[in-house]
Amino acid sequence: MFTEFLIKAGLALFILGNALNFAGLLTWVERKQSAVMQDRIGANRARIEFGSKWLSPVNWILGPLNALGIFHALADAIKMFAKEDFMPRGADRFLHTLAPAISVVFALAAFAVVPFGDVWHVGGRLVNLQVSGLNAGILFVFAMMSLGVYGVILAGFSSNNNYALLGGMRAASQMLSYEITMGLAVMGVVLCAGTLDLQGIVRSQSALWGFATQPLAFLLFMTAALAETKRVPFDLPEGESEIIGYFVEYSGMKFGMFFLTDLVETVLVACLVTTFFFGGWQVPYLLPDGFHFPWGAAVALPHTAVIVLGVTAFFLKVICFNWLFMAIRWTLPRFRYDQLMDLGWKILFPASLVNTIVTSVIVVMKG
């Protein structure tokens, strides 16, 4: 029992550490990728250098990292912790403090059911590379993403600021509108896989990735999920040029937690898109004993090597989608609020409903 607990704790620390590191790295990617797209140099001012001659070889290693601006993420964290924790007059102190914690905790909790690898045979044990193998994992993910909006609403409500309240109300209506589309889009995947377990959904794509059978669901889910992250072009709850948003009365690390939540949700969306539509940890032609190519060739591999390849493939796919989401963020302008609602209710929702109905008919006819 204790060994099982240690294994689960290790898996939880691994996925939590990766989620937070990916989110932290995205603060640098956001600066550097936008600079590349706009023909600018980008972040390169935050530097770490040693003046001692004994540590001069280290500067040769840090030089390229300094030039790329990698340490801006570290500088951001130090700045957030050093800033004053401001509390507006008339605010609800308890709810004002609780709101950012709610947002980030529920965003991180959703990673518990995301499978990042196959079952690993190690030391006579079967280790499922998934923190919690719930048989209704999709429902858990949607529950965590839905509960996260309470942090945004409470932030707007508790700040005693009309603009913050308006941002919280925008977030509530936006998430309600797009969560319906997100759920219906995933139903097509569930109907094809025949399970709500995310590990089962990944295994059902061994012959054909989900994108090939559900291309419309992929576009609908990705659009709706990006709206859930409250990032450009769906950043109406923030609206820096209009209302500043639900975090207008936040400073220091409380503001940093809201900022971190948006990036954690971006990583979560990349993980979910990879899991639902691009085979998760699956590698083309890779079976538990090695590669088997359609022209008859085969390459035998140790079991651990197969697992490592699968985990690597999962994270490479997640990185690719994070890059895509950043490209979208720096390409499209913000919607007007009426356009946001029209897109959700008049285009995405009917399309997701049609996709679910057509998929249901095809599954029944094939069965």
Helix (H), strand (E) at residue 298: strand 298-300
User: Which range has the worst mean pLDDT, 218-227, 243-252, 306-315?
Assistant: 243-252
> Is pLDDT above 70 for 42?
yes
Question: Cα–Cα distance between 239 and 232 in angstroms, integer?
Answer: 9
262-273, pLDDT tens digit by residue? Answer: 999 999 999 999
> Is pLDDT above 70 for 156?
yes
> Is pLDDT above 90 for 57?
no
| Alpha helix stretches (DSSP H) within the chain | 2-37, 56-68, 72-82, 93-109, 137-158, 162-193, 198-203, 210-213, 215-228, 252-277, 303-329, 337-342, 349-366
CB 116 within 8 A of CB 318: no
Pick left, alpha or beta for residue 252 (phi over 0 → left; psi -120 to 50 → alpha; otherwise beta): left
| 344 three-state secondary structure | helix
CA torsion 308-311-313-318 (nearest 10°) is -150
Q: Residue 42 has which token pair?
A: 């980008």
Its sign, for the CA torsion 6, 11, 12, 16, is positive
Q: What was the pLDDT predicted at 182?
A: 94
CB 148 within 8 A of CB 106: yes
Question: Cα–Cα distance between 247 and 160 in angstroms, integer?
Answer: 11
Longest dimension (CA), the chain: 75
> Is pLDDT above 90 for 366?
no
Q: What was the pLDDT predicted at 240?
A: 78
> Is pLDDT above 90 for 14?
yes
Q: What was the pLDDT predicted at 263?
A: 94
- Stretch 200-227: mean pLDDT: 89
> Is pLDDT above 90 for 231?
no
Encoded amino acid at 347, one letter: I
> Is pLDDT above 80 for 243?
no
Q: Which residue reads 């550097």 in tokens?
A: 32
CB 100 within 8 A of CB 254: yes
Confidence of residue 44 (pLDDT cuts 50, 70, 90): confident
> Is pLDDT above 80 for 187?
yes
> Is pLDDT above 80 for 141?
yes
102-139, pLDDT tens digit by residue? Answer: 999 999 999 999 999 999 988 788 899 999 988 989 99
> Is pLDDT above 70 for 26?
yes
Q: Hey, how many other C-beta atoms are within 10 angstroms of the C-beta on 176?
A: 12
| 122 three-state secondary structure | strand
- Stretch 339-354: mean pLDDT: 95
Q: Residue 111 has which token pair?
A: 């990673």
Q: Are strands 286-287 and 290-292 parallel, antiparallel or unpaired?
A: antiparallel
**Which residue has better confidence, 268 or 245?**
268
Question: Cα–Cα distance between 254 and 153 in angstroms, integer?
Answer: 15
Q: Residue 95 has which token pair?
A: 């709810």
Q: What was the pLDDT predicted at 295?
A: 87
Angle at which helix 93-109 crosses helix 252-277, to 10 degrees, equals: 20
Question: Cα–Cα distance between 269 and 285 in angstroms, integer?
Answer: 26
Q: What was the pLDDT predicted at 318?
A: 97
295-335, pLDDT tens digit by residue? Answer: 888 999 999 999 999 999 999 999 999 999 999 999 999 88
Q: What was the pLDDT predicted at 56?
A: 76
CA angle at 234 for the pair 189 and 343, rounded to the nearest 5°: 65
Q: Residue 225 has which token pair?
A: 């999920």
CB 317 within 8 A of CB 24: no
Angle at which helix 252-277 crosses helix 2-37, to 10 degrees, equals: 100
Report the chain's terminal Cα–Cα distance, integer Å.
42
Confidence of residue 208 (pLDDT cuts 50, 70, 90): low
Q: Residue 353 has which token pair?
A: 């409903």
Provide the mean pLDDT of the chain.
Answer: 91
Q: Measure Cα distances from 195 to 119, 135, 191, 201, 331 in Å.
A: 18, 8, 8, 7, 36
Q: Hey, how many other C-beta atoms are within 10 angstroms of the C-beta on 162?
A: 11
Q: What was the pLDDT predicted at 322?
A: 96
272-289, pLDDT tens digit by residue? Answer: 999 999 999 999 889 888
Q: What was the pLDDT predicted at 207?
A: 61
